Amino acid sequence: MKITKKIFSFITSVLVLATTLTLGNTVAAKADTNEVPVQLYYSYGVGNTSETSHYVGYIAVKNLSYDKKVTVHYTYTGPQAGGPWKDVAATYVRTNASDGYEIWKFETPETFDHYGFGQIQYCIKYEVNGQTYWDNNNGKNYVGTDFSANRPHLVNTSLSFDNGNSYLNCYVATKKSVNPQAIRIRYSKDNWATYKDVDVTASTDVYYNEDSNCWVAKVPFGRGTEVKLAVYYVLDGVEHWDNNLGENYSFN
């Protein structure tokens, strides 16, 4: 399925707005990885020009040894379909304090596509201690802009106004294979001295990918206000978080 420029623009908007501000201890969020050795956090497309693009992604890697190798194995499924599978090396970024996993980043080469945006499928290979581990999205591979199934993903934000009040609309994606008991935004306007949770509702105006459901929550957002937030869902009594790779989201 081809990703339009419109979809691409709102997917990347949250990445531009997010800053690096960590939650206080009272509301620290653990980004669950189910103790697997390697798993995708999320990926997104970057438009270099009107005709070229590439993909960026972040990977959770369990630190089993200092010497390790993380590789993304990918091929194009759009106009470039049928081409060879290629490898691109991921590089270490830092350790995620909220889940203890290392964060690794991959970036595919810039690719020409006269339709304006290429589409890829890919999987992740982790080599350590003589062993090889794969994350292939349960045999389906990841496609284009994507994320793992064991946590929600904040994909977009926008402002709205209602009866003189302003709101930050927070759009959240979850995998269709997951049926959480609750999905919520946790936010604070006073640097986490206090915080509130707000439930999401089904969204009809945002689409992320065909393997995801989309949701929206309205967070009060006044002039001169700084709002800090993270997203979580509850599954079998356990909270699973998207907290911007351990640093949470901040908007003003």
User: In angstroms, rounded to a whole number, what is the distance separating the alpha carbons of residues 67 and 56?
Assistant: 23
Judge if pTM exceeds 0.75. Answer: yes
CATH of region 153-251, choose from 2.60.40.2440, 3.20.10.10, 3.30.565.10, 3.40.50.300: 2.60.40.2440
> Is 153-251 the same fold as 35-143?
yes
Count other C-beta atoms under 10 Å from residue 38's C-beta.
24
User: Are the CB atoms for 78 and 97 separated by under 8 Å?
Assistant: no
* Terminal CA-CA length for the chain: 34
Name the 3-class secondary structure at 81.
coil
CATH class of 35-143: mainly beta
Q: What is the pLDDT along the chain (252 residues), one digit of tens a residue?
A: 333 433 333 334 333 333 333 333 334 444 454 578 999 999 998 888 877 889 999 999 999 999 999 999 999 876 555 678 999 999 999 999 888 999 999 999 888 776 656 688 999 999 999 999 999 998 999 988 999 998 999 999 999 998 888 999 999 999 999 999 999 999 999 999 999 999 999 998 888 888 999 999 999 988 788 999 999 999 999 999 999 999 999 998
| Domain range list for the chain | 35-143, 153-251
User: In angstroms, rounded to a whole number, what is the distance separating the alpha carbons of residues 11 and 44?
Assistant: 7
Residue bearing tokens 């800053």: 19
